[in-house]
Amino acid sequence: MNAMEYAKWFIKAGYDTPRNTLEGNMKLQKLLYFAQLIHLAKYDKVLFDDPIYAFEHGSVVEDVRLEYKNNCLDLVTDADLITYDFTEEEMDTLNLTIAIYGDASAEELSEINHFHRSWEKAFKKSNFGSFRFKELAKISIDDIKKYDLDRIKQVIEAFETADNNDECYEVNGVKFYYNPDEIKLDDKLKNRLKMFPATEKSYTIYCDESQGIIIY
């Protein structure tokens, strides 16, 4: 299956928001990217074979990006008319992607993506002063596995155990869920959450070994 079929599923479910905008396209790209990582983490195989490129705002499936940019209305129509016949594994990945990342904005997903070493490596490799070479920006699956898959596994594990272990801290009407066995909610973190530029009603906090506290 190619990435376009999964993109249409996300579109039909209404997750390319706001639709027919740069932001909506960017969110769609990030959902495809995180779906690829989740599938690799859970099933040790790619969800789709389309190349993923490291662009300024994160990882991009270029064919889907261009189709959405140039023919969004036709793409939405196609997405609404299709009956999807995905495998159980594919549906598990898509639903998990939405459950973890679906409520985040394009900017928030881009910010998370920028912590990924595989994106950073390809982005820097493609940079030649004021020029960027697209083919050098291709992110290898091997680099994703080497640098970022453990992080995604941690995110999945944190999400799947959240109902049993997580506590909630609410500030400014926004809820932040965290595992008290992993996160110390001290005054410093409370102040950070108070100043957090929230655009959603709830977030999850986890601790990454290399990056520290991550809010998504």
Say which range, 61-75, 90-104, 132-146, 196-210, has the weakest mean pLDDT.
196-210
User: Which of the four pLDDT bands, split at 50, 70 and 90, describes residue 65?
Assistant: very high
> Residue 131 pairs with which residues in a beta bridge?
128
Rounded Cα distance, 79 and 198, in Å: 30
* Close Cβ partners of 22 (under 8 Å, ≥ 6 residues apart): none
> What is the model's pTM?
0.77
Rounded Cα distance, 211 and 191, in Å: 19
Structure tokens at 40: 């690799």
In this structure, are residues 156 and 38 in contact, taking their beta carbons and an 8 Å threshold? yes
Whether 200 shows a pLDDT value over 80: the answer reads no
